[in-house]
Amino acid sequence: MNHIKKCKECGHSETLRYSSKIVKDLMDRNLCFICGFWDDKLKLLKNPNTAIIENNFYIIGEEKYKYPGEMRGYAGCKFTIQFKDDRKVTTTNLWCCGAIPLHFRERIKDNAVFID
């Protein structure tokens, strides 16, 4: 059985019960599933569609509909986001990836705020 004895990020151990590709990736990086998820998010920090607001990670999806009935983040509710680099984005396709764990917050810092 595949087992991470001690995740290099959080220190927890975990028995990996995922697809063989995911298990290999996590074992190669010596990460538990949750830390692997957040480690992957580090690669998106320079993406202009990534918003970190109050220690929550968001992705701004495309506004253009690809097909009728397409799913949209937050069911298509409208959000306006002000980035620290002075960009202002209004979206009806915002996706939340969740609250950033404490041990990742030094590397994943707020870069925006919601505005009315």
Over the stretch 14-68, which tens digit does the pLDDT of each residue have? Answer: 888 888 898 899 999 999 999 999 999 999 999 999 999 999 999 999 998 888 8
Same domain assignment for residues 59 and 10: no
Enclosing domain of residue 103: 45-116
State the burial class of residue 82 (Cβ atoms within 10 Å of its Cβ: 0-12, 13-18, 19+). middle
Same domain assignment for residues 61 and 96: yes
- Residues with Cβ within 8 Å of residue 94, at least 6 apart in sequence: 51, 58, 59, 60, 61, 73, 74, 77, 79, 81
Same domain assignment for residues 4 and 22: yes
- The per-residue pLDDT of the chain, averaged, comes to 93
Confidence bin at 94 (pLDDT 50/70/90): very high
Give residue 95's pLDDT. 97
Same domain assignment for residues 58 and 110: yes
* Percent of all residues in the chain with a pLDDT value above 70, rounded to a whole number: 98
Same domain assignment for residues 55 and 9: no
Q: Domains in the chain: how many in total?
A: 2
